[in-house]
Structure 1
Amino acid sequence: MEFDIFLKGYFVGLPLIVAIGAQNAYILKLGLLKQHVFKATIFCILTDILLITLGVLGLGFFIKGNQTFVNAMAIFGISFLVFYAFTSFKSAFKNESLKIDNEIKTDPIKKVFSLLFMFTFLNPHVYLDTVFLIGGIGANIEDSLKIYFILGTSMASATWFFALGYGARVLIPLFKNPNTWKILDITIGCLMLYIAYSLTHLLIF
């Protein structure tokens, strides 16, 4: 029974965590640059565990019924994503190729954590996926078995983020071409704008 609940958590969590979003795009970029990959992936995994656990414990019902909270997160999220999209488009026109290790300036870890924090906690979709959807499913599981569901979703998160962060290195030769890097920056910028637009549907005044 415990293993069945673990597998349920894993396979419920994986597709929602894998869904392409701002956080995933940023981890991919860090993986390509080989910058703070381990710390960044651990941050993402721990925040997933935190939010899913809160959802399993019932926070999803609070979020579902609190439109003021959703509106505030949506507004902050839209503002941040539009700003980051602008920086991505700006970067796309610098005509840079991928430089590895000592050839490129490494962003301070504080900046990386700050961006990840905003990508995570200023995006209402994160709450809807991890807290409400995944957490809502876990909340209906017998109390003594909830820990196995959380462990399953935690493993799904770890599987995805480590695969994304370290698997990105396979693409490094491709991104030594300036045009490929430009395409990535433009794609990330468009993705941020799309996510920002999708957040407007959550606004209710």
Structure 2
Amino acid sequence: MEAAMLIPSGFASGFGLTAALIVAIGAQNLFVLRQGLLRRHVAPVVMFCALSDMLLVSAGVLGMGAVVRTIPALVWVMSLGGAVFLAWYGLGALRRAMAPAAMVADERDRPDSLRGTLGRVAAFTYLNPHVYLDTVLLMGAVGGGLPGPARPLFVAGAATASALWFTGLGFGAQLLRPVFARPAAWRVLDGIVAVVMLALAGMLAVRGLGGAAPYLAALYRF
């Protein structure tokens, strides 16, 4: 009886917690939305995001969160790397938003290669320290605190929520294509992307520089 009760509780906990964390507007979600609107490499992007979430949650449940806590330098290195990447992408979105004549979805940019697209979504996923704080540390702490038989179910629930979210976001974005047939709608979206990316870049830069300060001070004294 007790083992049977682990099935809904473990799966539901992973599903519910992931659903609550994943819906926040962030760099990765905006990128998936934009790829969906452009109909470019949507399936590989959705699959990459969902599999990455499953991998990170699994790592957290298996104890990777404890390793991350023991290497504080890793967080500020990722913060600075993420800040540079997000600033670069945000400035590109700002340039598009300020363009005097934006084009419709099918003509907006030169087609991206699959490798380049996956490289960008990988950067959005793995250069964001919040991914590790939320997915590895928080999810790992909750899932790792469950009884052993419930942990795989927790990961399965989290993976299911992630797959449903990114599938809906990527492929559901096509329902908005009539709206984005107007250049003004693209300029608004790119403006939102620019604000979010640059704000995140600023926050990551502050965190990274703050974390690096003790190391830089020690190097200066040396």
TM range, smaller chain: over 0.9
8 A Cα contact 2:13 2:154, kept in partner: yes
Partner of 1:35: 40
Equivalents in 1 of 2:22, 2:67: separation in Å? 21
Equivalents in 2 of 1:31, 1:103: separation in Å? 13
Identity %: 36
Pairs aligned (count)? 204
User: What TM-score do the two structures reach when normalised by structure 2?
Assistant: 0.87
Equivalents in 1 of 2:105, 2:55: separation in Å? 35
> Structure 2 matches for 1:148-167, cutoff 5 A?
148-167=153-172
Alignment counterpart, residue 21 of structure 2, candidates 9, 16, 20: 16
Partner of 1:70: 75
Partner of 1:114: 119
> Structure 2 matches for 1:147-186, cutoff 5 A?
147-186=152-191
- Higher Rg: 2
Corresponding letter in the other structure for 1:171: L
1:107 partner SS: coil
Structure 1: runs of 5 or more not aligned: none
> Structure 2 matches for 1:76-91, cutoff 5 A?
76-91=81-96
Corresponding letter in the other structure for 1:98: V
Query: What is the aligned-residue RMSD (CA, Å)?
Result: 1.5
8 A Cα contact 1:60 1:132, kept in partner: yes
The offset of 1:201, in angstroms, is 3.3
Partner of 2:30: 25
Alignment counterpart, residue 60 of structure 2, candidates 34, 55, 59: 55
1:198 and 2:203 aligned? yes
Aligned CA distance change for structure 1 residues 128 and 82 (closer, same or farther; 3 Å): same
1:201 partner SS: helix
Deviation by residue 1:79-119 (Cα, 9 ceiling, x = unmatched)? 1111111111112233223233x896421100110001111
The offset of 1:197, in angstroms, is 2.2
User: What TM-score do the two structures reach when normalised by structure 1?
Assistant: 0.94
8 A Cα contact 1:33 1:98, kept in partner: no
Equivalents in 2 of 1:113, 1:9: separation in Å? 26
Partner of 2:105: 99
Corresponding letter in the other structure for 1:67: P
Following TM superposition, where does structure 1 have runs of at least 4 consecutive aligned residues deviating by more than 3 angstroms?
102-105
8 A Cα contact 2:28 2:121, kept in partner: yes
